[in-house]
């Protein structure tokens, strides 16, 4: 049995669909603090789970005895700056509860998402390496950095087979992003189709590492399926994805919607968060250790996003 915690989220929704396709719907228990979203409702077993409620979480582990747990529940960068203590509590305490129950119930594998947000203003900005100075200045960022330390600690001390990926900003059409700084790169597609214009809250030249959700889900499953001996990094693996600016994304969209217009605000707090993050990432460790290879570049992602959104909008 596989347990996905945070199944209603941007990653969780797609991960539940992908894992149910591989393992069969009845073997993948979706869970979230809220009722299931339309995307996953009635598509398989669902539980209400609050990762901060140890009793509730223990009951779910005891009832289902999951062989794999994906802990995706988190508060992201932008929301985390509005609710710093709640972000720290959910992101940290939730992880420690899951790691403790993974020890108690001998869960075979645990997945926990980290982020390029673990890097900060003094990290190298281009081709940011797997190991370097990391001084994240968002609560979300340092909760993910601390979480990486906890994951490596539980692997070293208790042998928990926990695996993690430092996701770039994720772009997909099946589920909305959850209050991050990279959300512009999803909203822009919806606006391009609905109104033909988009006002970006990040400046024209703000380059960030991004990734199409198809690649992100495939990377997650590929990491989790790799033999344990190949996983040399138990904090979290860099993944590079595709780096682009809002201007470059708009130019790509214009190839499909020539009349599309982008404009820019310059007063959004998310700009400072974006400025603290790398512009591009070096993911040679993921390539070497478990054969990672990106499939969607900017043109291919843009075409696929628009084709699918046209259909569902
Ligand atoms: C955020 N989407 O914006 C997340 C992600 C790298 C960005 O961590 O907070």
Amino acid 313: pLDDT = 87
CA of 168 to the centre of ligand 1 (A): 7
Ligand 1 atom nearest 10 alpha carbon: 2
Strand partners, 238: 166
Q: Which portions of the chain are predicted below pLDDT 70? A: none
Q: Whose CA is nearest to atom 4 of ligand 1?
A: 180
Q: CA-to-CA distance for 38 and 164, rounded, in angstroms?
A: 28
What number is the ipTM of this complex?
Answer: 0.97
Q: What is the pTM of this model?
A: 0.97
Q: Residues 117-146: pLDDT tens digits?
A: 999 999 999 999 999 999 999 999 999 999
Q: Whose CA is nearest to atom 7 of ligand 1?
A: 169
Q: CA-to-CA distance for 129 and 125, rounded, in angstroms?
A: 10
Residues serving a catalytic function are 140
Task: Tell me, rounded to whole angstroms, the distance of Cα 293 from its chain centroid.
Answer: 18
Amino acid 280: pLDDT = 98
CA of 64 to the centre of ligand 1 (A): 31
| Tokens found for residue 26 | 């009845």
Ligand 1 atom nearest 178 alpha carbon: 2
CB-defined site of ligand 1, < 6 Å: 76-77, 115-117, 140, 168-169, 177, 180-182
CA of 104 to the centre of ligand 1 (A): 31
Sequence-ordered list of residues with C-beta below 8 angstroms from that of 220, at least 6 positions apart, any chain = 11, 15, 70, 111, 165
Say if residues 213 and 170 touch (Cβ distance below 8 Å): yes
Sequence-ordered list of residues with C-beta below 8 angstroms from that of 158, at least 6 positions apart, any chain = 99, 103
Amino acid 266: pLDDT = 85
CA of 12 to the centre of ligand 1 (A): 14
Mutate to test the pocket of ligand 1, among 165, 166, 178, 180 (most ligand atoms within 8 A of CB): 180
């Amino acid at each position: 049995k596989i347990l996905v915690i945070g199944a209603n989220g941007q990653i969780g929704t797609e991960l539940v669909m992908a894992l149910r396709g591989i393992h069969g719907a009845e073997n993948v228990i979706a869970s979230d603090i809220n009722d299931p979203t339309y995307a996953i409702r009635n598509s398989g077993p669902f539980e209400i789970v609050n990762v901060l409620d140890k009793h509730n979480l223990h009951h779910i582990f005891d009832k289902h005895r999951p062989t794999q747990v994906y802990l995706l529940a988190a508060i992201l960068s932008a929301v985390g700056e509005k609710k710093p203590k709640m972000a720290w509590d959910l992101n940290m305490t939730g992880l420690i509860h899951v790691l403790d129950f993974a020890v108690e119930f001998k869960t075979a594998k645990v997945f926990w998402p980290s982020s390029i947000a673990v890097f900060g203003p003094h990290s190298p900005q281009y081709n940011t390496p797997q190991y370097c100075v990391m001084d994240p200045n968002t609560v979300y960022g340092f909760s993910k950095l601390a979480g990486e330390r906890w994951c490596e600690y539980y692997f070293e001390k208790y042998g928990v087979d926990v695996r993690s990926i430092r996701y770039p900003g994720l772009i997909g059409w099946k589920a909305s992003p959850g209050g991050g700084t990279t959300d512009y790169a999803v909203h822009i597609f919806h606006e391009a189709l609905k109104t033909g214009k988009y006002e970006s809250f990040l400046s024209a030249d703000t380059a960030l590492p991004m990734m199409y959700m198809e690649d992100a889900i495939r990377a997650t499953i590929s990491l989790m399926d790799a033999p344990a001996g190949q996983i040399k990094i138990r904090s979290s693996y860099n993944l590079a994805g595709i780096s682009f600016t809002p201007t470059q994304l708009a130019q790509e969209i214009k190839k499909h919607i020539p009349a599309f217009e982008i404009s820019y605000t310059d007063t959004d707090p998310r700009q400072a968060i974006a400025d603290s993050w790398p512009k591009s990432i070096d993911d040679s460790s993921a390539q070497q250790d478990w054969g990672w290879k990106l499939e969607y570049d900017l043109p291919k992602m843009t075409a696929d996003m628009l084709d699918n959104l046209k259909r569902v909008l």
